[in-house]
Structure 1
């Protein structure tokens, strides 16, 4: 492999593939930098010295391959290109794993900021922070208003039985990531199984909607929603529940003075909408009822616990790229506890 190639991206093979599949796209020698890796899909900034793109591929090791489906991510973002949901332009998808060792895709590089930390928003002030968090919720409502059939996504997923499959999926993830006993995991799973709604809403689900998965432009408006790796068709309320679970986890981490590299405190910035404000705004913007939302919050906690435990497992098995994974999974017990509380709090 070319010595200039970052881990997981063979630039020599990529150059040959692009020359054959997208002739004329690249004008010079390619170079790339890993800008995100290990916890989820690997993201690289790619350039030929004149143009810039983003390359996405799965992590080097994975527990559940369907959670890192590049075609899924590419297809969803490409389909939404003609809607009022802001997304990056998709340029190329490759399903041939012989090219760089995994499937991958190339997309437009968007100028925008993925805010992760409260200090970043404190610099902007409370008014702008409130505006940013408000637009985040409005963007989620816009996504959930898209009719999958009108953008060619009617066969993208199976909305029927979505919530029951999600409960089973994240139980499977936890079991596959087993390295320790997790009190509360079995209890939360059993309560979720018993409480799966017989009827639920249907629409596009991003799968990991939060502020740092939305690049904010210089005008404090969303420039692009990114990271569609878990997108599907199902109950959109799980997106809202997961976004709020990230927010609730950040507060618990701060209150209990614990650490977890996957926990960002951006939602604790002064001016950021509260959980109740977010729920009220989402109801207004989407027209959807949040009755029975406790189940969705419990499932979101269970899902995030499964994701976090998977990262911990990959770190233990030396399948992560980069530093800072020593405390991965620290908040999993807290998430399981929060899930049980959420199901009691919001019936």
Structure 2
């Protein structure tokens, strides 16, 4: 299916134009482009007159569950507009499926670079690299400093028991994947890792607004120097929960010089081991200083983060085996998942301290 054919499947361009005219006024220029690097929700770039906009909608055929709840994503970003958190400017939200066949929302488009596979040339020096790490931590600290009640998010989640529910959720996701993948190959370490997590869940944890997927390729750095984050994206998993899990997730996608070869190079960037980038330990120290939240039980949170990522990858492998995906990365999970289980075991055994 060509890109244009796929756009026609997910957007009724004429109906959307009528909606935009009604809400934003008439425009002489109108264009739609699909963002190829989008994740679970579809991301479309819109030109409407002299405005550059972004439309987010669920993938076609998705169920109306929290994994694709774009109106929830809009709600949290809209609530954060007057805070220090670097969110894009929200424009419209629509739950009328007569427009494009699903819920969707529109925000202003940010300009800059997302650091996914490498760093831009203007940041290829030790000072800029140091600042990239500092920006990541400082912006995460601003998220965790939000008073949910002050911005109308006091009912946005149930922070009590958040970590217990996370552990249980990823156990179940492994069970779902293994129903099919175990016939191809088994990963016996997963059961051991899951049991270790059950035995080491912290008795309590701090409560905060959490992003749920905070990492380097979910933020945008502006086009200027020095590096400055101008937008934080992909809020679909945000809730009220445990801020230490957000920090651990960030660390999972960060490499230090001297780290073992990456277990999942398709997803974890490898360039942060270059001269100038802060170490994982330095990121933690800066976070603790900025928030006053100690990264207690850090080994538990780091293991849970790798366990979660491994579960997602095993789910990819099931979808590949069932013929429900054509992503060339998914077949690689046959070997990547066992390597990731080894990664989690190294953290448990103390072989990968921060």
Q: Please classify the TM superposition score into its range, dividing by the shorter chain length.
A: 0.7 to 0.9
Q: 1:248 to 1:78 in 2, by over 3 A?
A: same
- Counterpart mapping for 1:160-239 below 5 A: 160-178=160-178, 179-180=180-181, 181-217=186-222, 218-219=224-225, 220-239=227-246
Bigger shift: residues 202-211 or 298-307: 298-307
Spell out the pairing of 1:1-347 with structure 2 (5 A cutoff): 5=7, 7-20=9-22, 22-24=23-25, 27-28=27-28, 30-36=30-36, 39-60=39-60, 65-120=65-120, 124-178=124-178, 179-180=180-181, 181-217=186-222, 218-219=224-225, 220-248=227-255, 255=261, 260-317=265-322, 326-327=331-332, 331-345=336-350
Quote how far apart the aligned CAs of 1:209 are: 0.7
Q: In the aligned structure 2, how far is the partner of 1:334 from the partner of 1:251?
A: 18
Q: Does the C-alpha gap of structure 1 residues 267 and 122 become closer, same or farther in structure 2, counting only changes over 3 Å?
A: farther
Report how many aligned residue pairs link the two structures. Answer: 342
Question: Can you give the 5+ residue segments of structure 2 that lack an aligned partner in the other structure?
Answer: none
Q: Which has the larger radius of gyration?
A: 2
Shift of 1:98: 4.9
Contact 2:255 2:271 in 1 (8 A): no
Taking structure 1 as reference, are residues 84 and 35 closer, same or farther at Cα in structure 2, changes over 3 Å only? same
Deviation, structure 1 residue 120: 3.2
Structure 1 stretch displaced more, 203-212 or 307-316: 307-316
Query: Is contact 1:250-1:265 (8 Å) kept?
Result: no
Would the alpha carbon gap of residues 189 and 325 (structure 1) be closer, same or farther in structure 2, given more than 3 Å must change? closer
- Post-superposition Cα deviations, 1:294-327, rounded to whole Å, max 9, x if no partner, equal 1111111122122333344445556558766553
* RMSD between superposed Cα atoms in Å: 3.0
- Are residues 171 and 271 of structure 1, via their aligned partners in 2, closer, same or farther at CA, if it must alter by over 3 Å? same
Contact 1:37 1:321 in 2 (8 A): no
Q: Which structure would you say has the larger RCO, counting Cα contacts within 8 Å and 6 or more residues apart?
A: 1
| 1:250–1:264 Cα contact (<8 Å) kept | no
Tell me: CA distance 1:342–1:211, structure 2 relative to 1, closer, same or farther (3 Å): same
Q: Judge conservation of contact 2:257–2:274 (CA < 8 Å) in 1.
A: no
- Structure 1's 134 and 202: CA in aligned 2 closer, same or farther, altered over 3 A? same
Query: Residue by residue, what CA displacement relative to the aligned partner does 1:108-139 show, whole Å, maximum 9, x if unpaired?
Result: 10012111234536852111111111111111
95 and 63 in structure 1: CA distance in 2 versus 1, 3 angstrom threshold: closer
Question: Closer, same or farther in 2 for the Cα pair 1:324/1:189, shift >3 Å?
Answer: closer
